[in-house]
Amino acid sequence: MSELEKTFDILYGIYNKHRRQYPENSRGSEQMCLMWSTADPPDEIEGTEPFNDIEEAFNIAIDDEDALELYDMTLKEASIRILEIQGVM
């Protein structure tokens, strides 16, 4: 299993954990934004529980700019970006 596949699998687990909290997000499309309420999105996403879980799982720090980029990505795109932040890619 490649690093990208491992990263995706871990991120997918985090995604499912948080997406399930919001009934409006029941149809998962693997968009990172579904880890937050789409009916009532947060004003700030940096430092929220989904990003805290991602930071802990991958031993990285996500700043405001990275948070905004990741929020608008698919899980695959975000997996690549996480590997870039880690310096693997």
pLDDT computed for residue 8 by the predictor? 98
Q: Could you give the CA distance from residue 42 to residue 10 in angstroms, rounded to a whole number?
A: 24
**CA-based max dimension of the chain:** 37
Residue ranges per domain, the chain? Answer: 3-86
pLDDT computed for residue 60 by the predictor? 97
Residue with tokens 């990208």: 4
pLDDT computed for residue 28 by the predictor? 67
Mean pLDDT of the chain: 93
Q: What is the pLDDT of residues 5-18, one digit of tens each?
A: 999 999 999 999 99
Global confidence as pTM = 0.92
CB-based contact 20:34 (threshold 8 Å): no
Instruction: State the average pLDDT over residues 56-66.
Output: 96
Q: What is the pLDDT of residues 29-56, one digit of tens each?
A: 899 999 999 899 888 998 999 999 999 9
- Listed in order, strand segments (DSSP E) in the chain are none
Please, which contacts does 76-79 make with residues 24 or more away whose CB atoms are closer than 8 Å?
76/8, 76/30, 78/11, 78/32, 79/4, 79/7, 79/8, 79/11
